[in-house]
Structure 1
């Protein structure tokens, strides 16, 4: 949790990959077509669609990803100039074994 005197805003978020942009764009449609499917199943279906998509369609998402990456890098430079490098967040390890 952030303290009140910590006025430094969160750094810019990393851009989504081409696949995740594709997933975001197609998720609702796939969900409508498969209303009882689990999230993992929907993701697998979208992954299959991604594999089957032509190069022209993939290129569209790769271009969007490149543009998002360029914006992210520009935003990150501005952030670092103003606030310095962001602190790396520690990854929270999940304990797979149940604790007794």
Structure 2
């Protein structure tokens, strides 16, 4: 019996760890961090998905769309893939600019937050020091 209880505790710990990891992802996304750019295949996929769904309105399976897109992508020549590669490269350049701007803002705000935090700690230490002096005076 004791072994089972220990096992369930281990499982609970895993659940907590998994929940914490997803929260960190949400926090990062909520902070305005830019999303990574799509690859050439995903640029193609977004276009292909619209065409496929227009041609097959009764299809409700994501797997069918993905399989058809993968088959078509593999059958395409480099010349046919070139427009998607160019779009992906442009999106990557835009992402790098956005990320650089974000990183600059983050570093500036983290420096500002660190300075504010340091000032708060200093004032708390000064307040505690004055309380101790007052206690000595009372005695």
The residue correspondences of 1:20-99 to structure 2 (distance < 5 A) are 20-34=42-56, 35-84=58-107
Q: How high is the TM-score relative to the length of structure 1?
A: 0.69
Flag structure 2 segments of 5+ consecutive residues without an equivalent: 1-22, 24-29, 108-139
**Per chain length, whose mean CA-contact separation is higher, i.e. which structure has more relative contact order (CA < 8 Å, sep 6+)?**
1
2: distance between equivalents of 1:16 and 1:80? Answer: 20
State which structure, 1 or 2, has the greater radius of gyration over its C-alpha atoms.
Answer: 2
Q: How high is the TM-score relative to the length of structure 2?
A: 0.51
2:36 to 1, 14, 19: 14
Report the CA distance shift for 1:14/1:24 in structure 2 as closer, same or farther (over 3 A): same
**Bigger helix share:** 2
The CA RMSD measured in Å over matched residues stands at 1.8
Flag structure 1 segments of 5+ consecutive residues without an equivalent: 2-7, 85-100
